[in-house]
Amino acid sequence: MSEIAIVGAGVTRFGKRDDVTYRELMAEAVAEAIKSTNGELRPNEIEGLYVAASQPELLVDQAHVANLGSQLFGLTPNIVSRVEMACASGSAALRNGWAATKSGLADVVLLVGVEKMTHNPALASRGLCLVPDVENESLHGITAYSGFALAAKEHMNKYGTTKEQMSSVAVKNHYNGARNPKAQFYSKGEITLEKAMSAPMVSDPFNLYDCSPLTDGASAVIITRGDLARKYTDQPVYIRGAGQSTEPSLGVSNMESITEWQALKRAAKQAYSMAELKPSDIQVAETHDCFTIAEIIEYEDLGFTEKGKGGKFIEDGESSLSGSLPVNTSGGLKAKGHPIGATGLAQVTEITEQLRGAAGPRQVADAEIGLTHNLSGFATHHVVHILSSNPK
């Protein structure tokens, strides 16, 4: 069977979305995704449906949200599931949608990612505290902030990574976000390195600008068999490679290393191998910058630079919009925002737009091969996809 192709992808405006309900947010994303097809897709052609959502029970008092999707979009899919893999729910949904399509159960699959968090920040924070190992770690005081801060401290000690390098990730991503009208901090514009470095402390060494925000938002992606793709778009984007792995750990304590993410390296290896491509072939990437240190470690473990050289990679401007490998052109989780369930498919949407030449003021010239990376927990679970405007 041919490769699987993306034929539509869209995101809502991210940010504080008190103007819409959870359902309206889902519908808005699907409308955006459909708008990006050629209009030939009929609802009864959608045979698979995945909804990626992390905390709907806690945050909007609604479970069973994949069946909500059936109702909203008038679907009777042959394969349907809500996927919850915390912050990586969206890309885990894509991995399942890929398998569903490849298995022959569905020719066209709709993937929707969604989270509404800003109306109750305390509850959203509580939800995030349920993601790592609650019994063994969260109950003893570790949070996402302090957990990733441990990794930052160790990376600084081990490789000489600096606070300035971390803040540079924030500066770059706010620069990109200021060029993305869908980004949460679009209207706040660019920030200076001085501003990024002098913000209030959150968890040493992280200050406010090292951390991604709470966000409302949704995203949607439509995939189909490669040989059917041109029925729905003149610009299919092919899933050339895909990989997923976990640590045999839910918390930081059982990880082999907190500065060299083995599960990410496994997921990346699967994706590169399947795509028959190498890190130097990647022209644009969306990676999981939940904290600035994460993006730096990802440069390394995705193979964009050597281990320990992630700090230098950002310092040298390699990952900036005009660099050798622009990363998080959308603004990333940092400036575009991080509506948990929506993030993975929003990353895929950004790369799809880049490969279609539709990224406007943040377009990477002539990009034909892009990568997405999405993680969850204390970097204990990773999903990598390699996309291209050309089939293999």
In the region spanning residues 92 to 121, those forming contacts with its own copies, defined by CB under 8 A, are: 92-93, 95-96, 98-100, 102-105
Taking the C-alpha atoms of residue 11 and residue 3, their distance in angstroms, rounded to an integer, is 24
Q: How far is the CB of 313 from its own copies (least distance, A)?
A: 27
Task: Tell me the chain's radius of gyration from C-alpha atoms.
Answer: 19
Binding part of the chain for its own copies, among 124-132, 187-195, 304-312, 315-323 by CB under 8 A, reads 124-132
Q: Which of residues 15, 90, 132, 344 is near its own copies by CB under 8 A?
A: 132
Question: Does 343 interact with its own copies (rule: CB under 8 A)?
Answer: no
Q: How far is CA 316 from CA 188, 259, 322, 347, 372, in A?
A: 25, 21, 11, 24, 22
CB 64 within 8 A of CB 33: no
Each residue 77-96 as x (binds its own copies by CB under 8 A) or -, in order, gives xxxxxxxxxx-----xx-xx
Taking the C-alpha atoms of residue 69 and residue 50, their distance in angstroms, rounded to an integer, is 8
Question: Does 317 interact with its own copies (rule: CB under 8 A)?
Answer: no
Q: Is the peptide bond before 213 cis (omega within 30 degrees of 0)?
A: no
129 in catalytic set: no
Question: SS3 for 170?
Answer: helix
Q: How far is the CB of 256 from its own copies (least distance, A)?
A: 11
Q: How far is the CB of 231 from its own copies (least distance, A)?
A: 22
Q: Which of residues 68, 302, 333, 348 is near its own copies by CB under 8 A?
A: 68
CA dihedral 185, 24, 285, 179 (to 10 degrees): -30
Binding part of the chain for its own copies, among 132-140, 209-217, 312-320, 343-351 by CB under 8 A, reads 132-140
Taking the C-alpha atoms of residue 17 and residue 34, their distance in angstroms, rounded to an integer, is 21
Q: Which of residues 37, 55, 184, 329 is near its own copies by CB under 8 A?
A: 55
Nearer to its own copies, 1 or 31 (CB): 1
Q: Which of residues 19, 135, 194, 366 is near its own copies by CB under 8 A?
A: 135
Question: SS3 for 227?
Answer: helix
**Binding residue count for its own copies, defined by CB under 8 A:** 65
Taking the C-alpha atoms of residue 294 and residue 50, their distance in angstroms, rounded to an integer, is 27
Which residue has tokens 């895909």? 242
Nearer to its own copies, 80 or 355 (CB): 80
Question: Does 374 interact with its own copies (rule: CB under 8 A)?
Answer: no
Taking the C-alpha atoms of residue 42 and residue 34, their distance in angstroms, rounded to an integer, is 10
Q: Of 288, 338, 373, 382, which one is the catalytic site residue?
A: 338
* 272: its two tokens: 């590169």
Q: Of 87, 211, 288, 382, which one is the catalytic site residue?
A: 87
* 255: its two tokens: 């990880």
Binding part of the chain for its own copies, among 11-19, 191-199, 262-270, 359-367 by CB under 8 A, reads 262-270
CB 243 within 8 A of CB 274: yes
Nearer to its own copies, 31 or 130 (CB): 130
Taking the C-alpha atoms of residue 345 and residue 220, their distance in angstroms, rounded to an integer, is 6
77 exposed, middle or buried (CB, 10 Å; 0-12, 13-18, 19+)? buried
Question: Does 21 interact with its own copies (rule: CB under 8 A)?
Answer: yes
338 in catalytic set: yes
Question: Does 249 interact with its own copies (rule: CB under 8 A)?
Answer: yes
Q: What residues are labeled active site? A: 87, 338
List of residues contacting its own copies (CB under 8 A): 21, 23, 49, 54-55, 57-58, 61-64, 66-68, 70-71, 73-86, 92-93, 95-96, 98-100, 102-105, 127, 130-135, 243-251, 254, 263, 266, 270, 376-377, 380-381
